[in-house]
Amino acid sequence: MSDELHIEIVGIVWYRRDQYELAKTIMVDGANLPPTYSAWLHAAQQVVERVKGAGKTPVRAYIDPATFPIWCQARGLDINADARNQFANIVAYHSRTMGNA
């Protein structure tokens, strides 16, 4: 058995307060997101606590409404929850491989 420490990292989609409303408008499923930044933040913080409670490390994956559509288009993805989750997973992966988590 390896002596290496195994750390599970979980990417969590994250928004900046000043970009939340715009982010909702670019999402195909934006109507499914919480109506306000405060409501979204409360839910996101609960997710962070659950991830930590499971012994995993949360990593914030900031969605930039100016660049996220381009990222999605380059990968042939709709701008929706699936794409956001893929993005968060990639951010988490890169965080782990770069030693930032």
Q: Residue 23's closest CA among 71, 89, 94?
A: 71
Measured in degrees and rounded to the nearest 5, phi and psi for residue 59 equal -130, 125
Is 66 exposed, middle or buried, given 0-12, 13-18 or 19+ CB atoms closer than 10 A? exposed
The list of the chain residues with pLDDT below 70 reads 1-6, 97-101
Output the pTM of the full model. 0.86
Confidence (pLDDT) at 99: 57
Confidence (pLDDT) at 4: 57
